[in-house]
Structure 1
């Protein structure tokens, strides 16, 4: 997914431009730090105090030039208007967050308001059109049948969460002034791999296959996750 995000950034902004990036629900800051190291100025917003502490600890070990380009705020992604002025960012990331939000539309509208004209909104969501794939490939036929008619599911942490459908999000993005420009599938062939599994010896080939499938119909449509990129008009 990092390669997909880099592709969108390179294709939409001048080479060498130091972008203002907001990472909503940044977790431990992995994506945020990667972008800071690439030269951008990143603000990470995270409501889990443990994640915030972990991100700050990691950041403390970075060189001063990187530390001064990253700001970490403990807060809820639905309150971006409290922390920032509209149009404050060139790129807004919201990866792995929407599944925990019961009503995502207000959150998405708030994120779109944070974008400057031409700004990029990057979303990573659970694919609501492919919820039957994981239980089906695992031989859980009852679970697969139940998944066809819902967007609710239980994740690997044991939490009851929700997925998003491509068509619904496409309409939402158009409605908030950040219409969909590109989308990818993520974890097409690897979703059933156990958590913490070691990379196989042929990892390079695996990554190449996943990258190709994530861009190619019909494979991307059955991916576990969708990476959607909208652009502020």
Structure 2
């Protein structure tokens, strides 16, 4: 779903065939970075975990040389973009699944906006604080559901503490740093926790998630929010 949404926003912002300068902050499995490099874009990835960087290097080493040459992997904290990159260095900045581990997101977001070129696209994937009580409530975990009404903090599936964000608060922050919100989607409306559908059902599941992720009121109760800001100038 996130890949579809990124491609949709790229098509709306950039001429067809333009090779973009992409920054991926918080590499994870490298899903988007590798996908965009395979599509011809120049990708820089900033990741603080050496093991993650090593795993993605291994994937790159097993693939085509032309894709490997389009990817630059750097070890570092996403909050230190100013130390690594000049202002306006990127057309597309991805920050997926990172803000949930950052106690105070505003400095990180300001740094990301700084390295965006005018008209550049900022893609954020965050936990949805407005729907934190929904999943534990549906699962009958009443203590966790009640706690979610009063705190944006929770734990991920590995037990690591994480923080959720509210769309309105992030929209205000994006406006303040010069990259106002232009589009937003819900991610994992029906499939949180993720399910393993039968192959025959996959297309219909994706169609339902795609429709729900862009339709009110469903997208507002998704487990994750995908917010897209555009740098002014």
TM-score computed with the length of structure 2 as normaliser? 0.97
Shift >3 Å, 4+ stretches? none
Tell me if 1:220 matches 2:199: no
State the 1:199 CA deviation. 3.0
Contact 1:184/1:220 (<8 A) preserved: yes
**SS of the residue aligned with 1:129?**
helix
**SS of the residue aligned with 2:207?**
helix
Question: 1: CA distance between counterparts of 2:144 and 2:197?
Answer: 28
Give the alignment's Cα RMSD to 1 decimal: 0.8
Q: Which moved more, 1:93-102 or 1:138-147?
A: 138-147
**Unaligned stretches of 5+ residues in structure 2:** none
Q: Partner of 1:232 in structure 2? A: 231
Give CA-to-partner distance per residue, 1:122-167, whole Å, 9 cap, x none: 0000001000011011111221111112111111110111000001
Task: Say which of 174, 196, 199 aligns to 2:197.
Answer: 199
State the 1:57 CA deviation. 0.4
Tell me if 1:75 matches 2:94: no
**Unaligned stretches of 5+ residues in structure 1:** none
Give CA-to-partner distance per residue, 1:88-120, whole Å, 9 cap, x none: 000000000000001110000000000000000
Query: What does residue range 87-106 of structure 1 map to in structure 2 within 5 Å?
Result: 87-106=88-107
Contact 1:24/1:77 (<8 A) preserved: yes
State the 1:177 CA deviation. 0.3
Contact 1:185/1:222 (<8 A) preserved: yes
Q: Partner of 1:18 in structure 2? A: 19
State the 1:186 CA deviation. 0.1
Question: 1: CA distance between counterparts of 2:229 and 2:28?
Answer: 22
TM-score computed with the length of structure 1 as normaliser? 0.97
State the 1:6 CA deviation. 0.4
Q: Report the count of equivalent residues.
A: 230
Q: Partner of 1:142 in structure 2? A: 143
Give CA-to-partner distance per residue, 1:19-54, whole Å, 9 cap, x none: 000000012211100000111000011000110000
Q: Partner of 1:114 in structure 2? A: 115
Question: 1: CA distance between counterparts of 2:27 and 2:40?
Answer: 18
